[in-house]
Amino acid sequence: MTMRTALILALAIASMTTAHAQTYQWKDSSGRTVISDTPPPGQAAKSARAIGGNEPSVVKEEKPQEKAADAPKTAAEKDLDFKKRQQESREKAEKEAKEQKVAADKRDNCERARRNLTALENEFRIVMPNEKGERELIDNTRREQEMQRARQIMADSCN
Q: Write down the pLDDT at residue 140.
A: 87
Angle ∠(151,155,157) on CA atoms, nearest 5: 110
How many Å apart are CA 62 and CA 74, to the nearest integer?
Answer: 18
| Whole-structure pTM value | 0.44
Q: Write down the pLDDT at residue 53.
A: 54
Domain spans, the chain = 22-58, 75-157
| Average pLDDT for runs of 10 along the chain of length 159 | 76 63 77 80 58 53 54 87 95 96 93 90 84 88 90 88
